[in-house]
Structure 1
Amino acid sequence: MTVEGTGSSEAADEVELVARAVDGDRAALEEVIRRLQDPLYRLALRMAWRPSDAEDAVQEILIRVVTRLATWRAEARLLTWAYRVGVNYLLNLRRQTPQEARQLSLDEFRDGLADGLAEEDYRGPEAALLAEEVRLSCTQAVLQCLERDERIAFVLTDVFELSSAEAAWILEVSPAAYRKRLERARRRIRIFMDSTCGLVNAEAFCRCARRVPKALALGRIDPARPVFAVHPVSPSGRGVAEAAAQLGRLHDAAAVLRAHPDYAAPQQKVDAIGALLRSGRFPLLE
């Protein structure tokens, strides 16, 4: 696989930037981190589910990217290569999400959503905000019911909208093997969403606003500290309202799972990496 648009100013800019970073230019290295931190955090969040776990994961991934930067040969875009580093880390992460630990299936998750669903939409305080929190939390949880290899395939192509060729390169598998993996994931998600989610199928039983009371009772969402609906986003990225507006125009399973804000990486974790690099105690590049 070669860099998309080889010879373009963007590709040349990446090559020049990485060369300066490898040569010890701290400002160039900080720029590399700045370009990669948010996309890599969003990847970690989709795989690790909880922001706290994603924060720890993205810090480790960024350190791995920095220490291996000299091995980038521009055979793929810098971000695509960084995704390969991140995916390798996330697929082998020992820490499990709650759904993974319970080996929760999509069928069991569907049964859980049906249990306690209110007959009417929630009308209490912050109703719209809490319905969004339910939607964002639920779509995160759905992904965790897939095996990791299927989850990453779905995330790379149907959420991040990478081509099958790029995703296969990231996962270091043949395009044919990748397509089979992706189709398994798509089929499982499609069947679940079509039978469950009212955003995809008007005949399905689940509605975010009717799930709010049960989610509050179970402590799945906290009205005082919503996790996803108020999560910081990238400076030029989509917010919750824009993501929801896009969702309103697209009623398919992939669109529902894709309609998340463009979350930003926690700056304190990124700043910690910068401090580590400036300390002189960190082996900058292998």
Structure 2
Amino acid sequence: MDALAQRARGGDPDALDQLVRALQDPMYRLALRFLGRPEPARDATQEILLLIVMELPTFRGESSVRTWAYRVATRLLLRLRRRGRRWTFEALADEDLGQPPNAIEADTRALADERLLEEEVFIGCTQAMLQALDRPQRIALVLGAICELEAAEASYVLGISEVAFRKRLSRARATLDAFLARHCGVADPTNPCRCAYQVNLNVARRCVNPARLNYAVAPTRTTLEVLRAEGEIRQIRLSLDLFRTQPKFSSTEDFAERVRALVASASSLSGAQEASGRFPVTRGSDAVPDRSERSRRAPEDP
């Protein structure tokens, strides 16, 4: 990937397309885990990739281009304004967890396989848990535990010391592990909550759309089946196991064409401004056409 970046910096358009395509899935996974939902994650991924392209001339090789891209993406994500519900662990605990045994409604089963409906509830619940973490802990957990960056990489991405990163990651894991141990029937079978028994409630509340599942795919085995086959989850790795056995989500869109068009548009605008002598010529991230400047204000949550 570093060789692609060097060729792209030299003006090779094919290398630039390949670089964008190589980065789009890792950047989408980061955005999805940090923001929680596919729609804002797709929007953020486009902004991230565009920003990477516009700032590529500033890349000096102090890290791999992949690590540098995570740094660019993380800075953008931390500036985004929250969209949607603000979850807390207290609110999650009040979400009628532990529904009594019940069969999934026939109308729902006609639209989606029961295994996938159960998986959708499970992954959606873990996504909500991530959103309940404060932003510093959430991004540390996503980078370290889900994207699996080494401490040196993650601390560079966040611009903090390795000691500070490890503390944030440890606190995030401890918070999640405590909640899982108290409430999750996957983590501890003695807890009453079962994903299958939560399906009807989540469909009724429109948290799950059986006709259009957000997270569940059709693998040979679902995340829940993998976890059950492995037996009891070791307490020390509780949150890591629950997240790392989930699918490595990929974007359903190819952003290369769109990013190329946006870069061309920005370059044309910049050239017109320079020629007119009336406007300053923008460079780097200042040249990025902002889809929604309102989303870039200081975050509302911690």
TM-score, structure 2 normalization: 0.79
1:45 aligns with 2:4: no
> Aligned residues, how many?
261
| Structure-2 residue corresponding to 1:264 | 250
1:203 aligns with 2:203: no
CA RMSD of aligned residues (A): 2.4
| Structure-2 residue corresponding to 1:224 | 211
2:119/2:222 contact within 8 Å kept:
no
| Structure-2 residue corresponding to 1:166 | 153
Q: CA deviation at 1:82?
A: 0.5
| Residue number among 87, 92, 95 corresponding to 1:112 in the alignment | 95
1:122 aligns with 2:108: no
Aligned amino acid, residue 28 of structure 2: Y
1:107/1:192 contact within 8 Å kept:
no
1:240/1:260 contact within 8 Å kept:
no
1:130/1:212 contact within 8 Å kept:
yes
1:194/1:253 contact within 8 Å kept:
no
Q: Quick check: 38-47 or 201-210, which moved more?
A: 201-210
Q: Distance in 2 between matches of 1:263 and 1:33?
A: 17
Q: Distance in 2 between matches of 1:242 and 1:134?
A: 12
| Structure-2 residue corresponding to 1:247 | 227
| Residue number among 64, 80, 91 corresponding to 1:77 in the alignment | 64
Aligned amino acid, residue 188 of structure 2: N
Q: Distance in 2 between matches of 1:73 and 1:219?
A: 47
Aligned amino acid, residue 122 of structure 1: I
Structure 2: runs of 5 or more not aligned? 271-281, 285-302
Aligned amino acid, residue 262 of structure 1: K
- Describe the shift of the 1:78–1:268 C-alpha distance in structure 2 as closer, same or farther (beyond 3 A): closer
Aligned amino acid, residue 79 of structure 1: R
2:31/2:77 contact within 8 Å kept:
yes
2:119/2:195 contact within 8 Å kept:
yes
- Deviations along 1:39-75, whole A, 9 cap, x unmatched? 0000000111111100100000001111111222222
| Residue number among 25, 42, 45 corresponding to 2:12 in the alignment | 25
1:118/1:210 contact within 8 Å kept:
yes
| Residue number among 172, 181, 185 corresponding to 1:185 in the alignment | 172
Q: Quick check: 38-47 or 242-251, which moved more?
A: 242-251
Percent sequence identity over matched residues?
37
| Structure-1 residue corresponding to 2:296 | none
| Structure-2 residue corresponding to 1:135 | 122
Flag the structure with more relative contact order, 1 or 2, with Cα contacts below 8 A and sequence separation at least 6. Answer: 2
Aligned amino acid, residue 241 of structure 2: A
Q: CA deviation at 1:243?
A: 4.3
Q: CA deviation at 1:209?
A: 0.4
1:97/1:144 contact within 8 Å kept:
no
| Residue number among 59, 63, 66 corresponding to 2:53 in the alignment | 66
Aligned amino acid, residue 51 of structure 2: R
2:2/2:64 contact within 8 Å kept:
no
- Describe the shift of the 1:192–1:19 C-alpha distance in structure 2 as closer, same or farther (beyond 3 A): same
